[in-house]
């Protein structure tokens, strides 16, 4: 398999360690009841944060500096319903993905607006349960990641797929294997279930979050494992379902609420990064 470069840039030597991931670096907010089943995060090119929840195509803009809702708009009238598991912004469109691989596409709406949308069938639901969506702005494609595979002898074998909004094609030659067994071994777990992915804007590497294992991992653009750890503040992350990295280096994580309120966390980058000392 040939390596697929997501964005230009040199390989990172900072890794997960560039985020302090401790009590001194975290800001965390409890989110309103309507976001209890938050299932994905997405940043726009100008660093505005949006979120989606399970079941309804309602898109929320969040202020990640204050933990509040800025606006909300819906896809369809009546609002579309499905098992939504990821959200991404690419160009002037918002994309939502369902667990069975349907992609919903719409323009950004104003507060309270109900916008028209289109739906595309990626065909990926035949292979796995989709639970992650991220834009690759360098190629104008979307990355869809598997939580678990169907009908495979090795349940730890799953992938990140590349799908083009322009052609509607899934590029099998660019499929990125997720090294599930290696990640699980690294964190001392029996398996790994990725719940969200993001391309690091600084390095081009992939960061992923695994909600059930309360873990974070980093992959090279070809899927090679760089690092994986249990989140040091694992008790602050009930069920991580969304991950983003801002242009100024903040790590954002969204946790669904379960029987309590959902949470949005913002981790500041370390102040003593190697690049800051040069």
pLDDT in the model for residue 274: 44
Tokens, residue 246: 């801002």
What is the number of other CB atoms lying within 10 angstroms of the CB of residue 252? 21
CA 184 to CA 193: how far, in whole Å? 9
CA proximity to 59, closest of 33, 94, 91: 94
pLDDT in the model for residue 173: 80
In a domain, 278, yes or no: no
As for how many domains the chain has, the answer is: 1
In a domain, 2, yes or no: no
pLDDT in the model for residue 152: 53
In a domain, 277, yes or no: no
CA proximity to 193, closest of 232, 237, 240, 226: 240
In percent, the amount of the chain with pLDDT more than 90 equals 82
What range defines the domain where residue 139 resides? 15-264
CATH number for the domain including 122?
Answer: 2.120.10.30
In a domain, 272, yes or no: no
- pTM, whole model, 2 decimals? 0.90
Q: Which residue ranges in the chain fall short of pLDDT 50?
A: 1-13, 153-154, 273-278
CA proximity to 179, closest of 171, 169, 187: 187
CA 21 to CA 98: how far, in whole Å? 30
In a domain, 273, yes or no: no
234 three-class SS? helix
CA 31 to CA 276: how far, in whole Å? 33
In a domain, 275, yes or no: no
pLDDT in the model for residue 153: 46
140 three-class SS? coil
In a domain, 54, yes or no: yes
In a domain, 30, yes or no: yes
């Amino acid at each position: 398999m040939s390596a697929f470069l997501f964005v230009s840039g040199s390989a990172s030597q900072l890794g997960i360690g560039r985020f302090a991931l401790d009590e001194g670096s975290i800001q965390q907010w409890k989110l309103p009841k309507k976001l209890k089943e938050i299932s994905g995060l997405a940043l726009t090119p100008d660093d505005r944060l949006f979120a989606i929840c399970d079941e309804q195509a309602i898109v929320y803009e969040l202020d990640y500096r204050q933990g509040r809702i800025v606006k909300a708009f819906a896809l369809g009238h009546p609002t579309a319903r499905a098992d939504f598991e990821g959200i991404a912004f690419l160009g002037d469109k918002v994309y939502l993905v369902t667990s069975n691989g349907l992609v919903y596409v719409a323009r950004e709406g104003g507060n309270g607006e109900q916008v028209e949308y289109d739906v595309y069938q990626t065909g990926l639901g035949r292979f796995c349960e989709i639970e992650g969506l991220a834009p690759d702005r360098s190629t104008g494609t979307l990355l869809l990641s598997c939580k678990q595979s169907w009908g495979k002898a090795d349940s730890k074998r799953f992938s990140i797929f590349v799908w083009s909004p322009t052609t509607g094609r899934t590029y099998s030659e660019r499929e990125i294997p997720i090294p599930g067994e290696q990640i699980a071994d690294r964190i001392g777990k029996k398996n790994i279930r990725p719940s969200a992915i993001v391309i690091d804007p600084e390095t081009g590497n992939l960061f992923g979050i695994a909600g059930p294992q309360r873990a974070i991992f980093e992959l090279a653009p070809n899927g090679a494992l760089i690092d994986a750890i249990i989140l040091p503040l694992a008790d602050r992350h009930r069920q991580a379902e969304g991950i983003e990295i801002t242009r100024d280096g903040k790590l954002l994580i969204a946790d669904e609420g379960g029987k309590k309120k959902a949470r949005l966390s913002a981790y500041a980058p370390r102040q003593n990064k190697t690049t800051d000392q040069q």
